Every structure is written in structure tokens, then in C-alpha cells.
């Protein structure tokens, strides 16, 4: 057992190094929150921005372009100078725009350190001002819809569900494929072993993909550099424990060392194959 534990520890270190080295490092590579906004029943020509609570943010001092038309200047001045009922214009983004001019799609993306609690302000060039209800976003990258006709704004918390499902299904099938090849290589591909093979991979894939999906939902992608290797090591250990006394060869014999070796090899083979596949696709 000491030998097996040492092998698992060594493999764990190798897996950690392999996965960490596959991620590039940048000075500002951390995930940034965002708000994707869709306007419904919008006026013909307008500017749109966000409002924040004045007790949490400083009032913006925005300099407007002298080349704006009178209507444009008045609309922007109304929006950027808004200060009413404890709400002010949000201008806390030093990187990208905090206001947008209307377009045909009525879709706008606010990025880089956006507020969690906000309201939407729309000022039309004919002088009308529209303010949404207050909302506190749940997702790190929120997708919201503001219906100007009734002032209601809602977050689509289930946006991206299809993407998540396809990702999970794709990872599960790929894992079965690559680890199935390893099962064949080790001479363990038989009807009895397939039951434990499916159980082990279903349990561990649910565990791994739940972590990945949750971290993506919360915008914690950067932590995957640390969490993923730990999760993979946990998977290797879990599958080793499941397989070591259950997998049999064609003669019905059990070999603990071979079964643990299969669990280790299959997972590393699956990881490397998956990384290579992603690099090829990218």
C-alpha cells in the first residue's frame, strides 16, 4: 500500500505541474464582471448608462465633447449629471465606455468592475428620461433585459444553460472515450468492468464539472489554475479506490496494482488528450 500511495502522490504532483503549465499568465488576467443589457420598447434615438447608489460611489465629473449637437449635449448632460433620490450616474470605468448611443440591436455591454446593484438610465434625444427599477445582479457576468414600457428590469440567471450542458456532456463523452481506450489497453475491457467504469466516471465527472460550471458562473475562472489540479488528483484517488478491488481481467482475476495503475494512466491519458484536442481546436 505504501508503494501505491507514493505512486499516487507522484502522479498528483505531475498532474498539477502539467495543468498549471498549460495556463498562460498575464499581469491583468483576472476575470472582470460585466453586464450585458438588452432594451425593449426603446425610443428611436437615445443614450444609455447605469446609475449607482450615491452613498457608495462618488459623483461623476464628466466632460462632454463640444462637437455634440444641442440635442446630444442635452441628453448626455441629463444622464451624466443625474443626481436624484440617492442615485447618480456611474462613471467608474477607466478602461471602456460607461455610456452608449442607441443602435439597431439595442444591446449593450458594460464591462470592467461594473456595479452589483444598479439601475439603467435611458435619455432620448427628444428630452425623455427613463429609469429602470433597482436590481442586484446574481451572476458574475449578468445578462439583463430592461423593458422601458413598464420600467422593469430582470436578469436572465439561466442564460448560458445550453452552453453548460453541452460542455458537461462533451467532457463526459470525451472522458469515456479516452479512458475506454485505456481500459482496452490494460486488458480490462469486459462487461463486468464496464459497470464500474461507468459508475466511477459518472460520479467523478459530475464532481469535476459541477466545480467548473459553478466557478464559471461566479466568474472565478482564474482559480481553476489551482482548483483543477486538486480536483483531478481527487478523481485519480477516487477512481483508484473504486477500481482496485473490482476490476477483473478476462480470467476473472483481480490485480490491485494493475487496477490502480489503470486509474492513474487513464486519467492522465484523458487529461493530456483533452488538452491536445483543445489546443488543436483553438
Which pLDDT value is given to residue 190?
92
The residues, any chain, with a CB within 8 Å of residue 152's CB and separated by 6 or more, are 132, 133, 146
pLDDT on residue 47: 95
Residue 115 and residue 50 in contact, taking contact as beta carbons nearer than 8 Å: yes
Specify which residues 100 forms β-bridges with. Answer: 48
pLDDT at position 266 is 92
Do residues 127 and 191 both lie within one domain? no
Q: Which of 106, 129, 155 is the last residue of a domain?
A: 155
Residue 82, φ and ψ in degrees, nearest 5: -60, 130
Higher per-residue confidence, 273 vs 149: 149
Domain count, the chain: 2
Tell me: do 23 and 130 sit in the same domain: no
Domain boundary among 104, 124, 155: 155
- CATH code assigned at 100: 2.60.40
- Rounded to the nearest 5 degrees, what angle is found at the Cα of 138, between the Cα atoms of 132 and 139? 110
Show the cell assigned to 87: 442615485
Q: What is the pLDDT of residues 38-71, one digit of tens each?
A: 999 999 999 999 999 988 887 777 778 778 899 9
If DSSP codes are grouped into helix, strand and coil, which group holds residue 112? coil
Same domain assignment for residues 165 and 272: yes
Which residue segment(s) compose the domain that 135 sits in? 34-155
State whether 52 and 109 are in the same domain: yes
Handedness of CA 23, 25, 26, 29 (dihedral sign): positive
Same domain, 276 and 165: yes
Say if residue 105 is in the same domain as residue 213.
no
pLDDT value at 23 more than 60: no
- The model's pLDDT over 138-170, given as tens digits with 9 standing for 90+, comes to 888 889 999 999 999 999 877 667 777 888 888
Percent of the chain surpassing pLDDT 70: 83
165 with 275, same domain: the answer is yes
Residues 146 and 48 in one domain: yes
Structure confidence by residue, pLDDT tens digits, 111-127: 888 999 999 999 999 99
Amino acid at each position: 500500500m505504501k508503494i501505491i500511495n507514493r505512486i499516487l502522490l507522484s502522479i498528483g504532483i505531475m498532474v498539477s505541474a502539467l495543468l498549471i503549465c498549460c495556463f498562460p499568465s498575464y499581469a491583468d488576467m483576472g476575470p472582470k464582471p460585466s453586464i450585458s443589457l438588452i432594451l425593449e420598447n426603446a425610443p428611436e434615438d437615445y443614450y444609455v448608462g447605469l446609475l449607482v447608489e450615491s452613498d457608495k460611489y462618488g459623483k461623476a465629473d464628466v466632460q462632454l465633447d463640444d462637437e455634440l449637437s444641442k440635442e446630444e449635449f442635452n441628453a448626455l448632460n441629463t444622464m451624466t449629471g443625474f443626481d436624484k433620490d440617492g442615485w447618480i450616474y456611474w462613471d467608474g470605468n477607466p478602461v471602456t465606455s460607461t455610456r452608449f448611443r442607441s443602435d439597431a440591436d439595442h444591446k449593450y455591454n458594460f464591462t470592467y468592475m461594473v456595479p452589483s446593484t444598479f439601475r439603467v438610465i435611458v435619455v432620448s434625444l427628444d428630452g425623455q428620461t427613463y429609469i429602470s427599477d433597482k436590481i442586484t445582479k446574481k451572476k458574475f457576468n449578468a445578462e439583463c433585459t430592461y423593458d422601458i414600457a413598464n420600467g422593469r428590469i430582470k436578469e436572465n440567471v439561466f442564460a448560458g444553460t445550453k452552453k453548460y450542458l453541452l460542455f458537461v456532456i462533451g467532457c463526459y463523452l470525451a472522458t469515456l472515450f479516452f479512458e475506454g481506450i485505456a481500459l482496452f489497453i490494460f486488458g480490462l475491457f469486459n462487461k463486468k468492468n464496464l459497470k464500474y467504469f461507468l459508475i466511477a466516471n459518472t460520479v467523478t465527472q459530475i464532481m469535476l464539472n459541477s466545480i467548473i460550471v459553478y466557478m464559471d458562473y461566479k466568474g472565478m475562472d482564474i482559480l481553476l489554475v489551482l482548483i483543477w489540479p486538486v480536483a483531478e488528483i481527487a478523481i485519480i484517488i477516487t477512481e483508484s479506490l473504486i477500481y482496485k478491488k473490482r476490476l477483473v481481467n478476462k480470467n476473472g482475476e483481480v490485480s490491485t496494482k494493475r487496477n490502480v495503475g489503470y486509474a492513474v494512466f487513464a486519467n492522465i491519458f484523458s487529461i493530456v488528450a483533452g488538452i491536445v484536442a483543445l489546443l488543436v481546436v483553438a
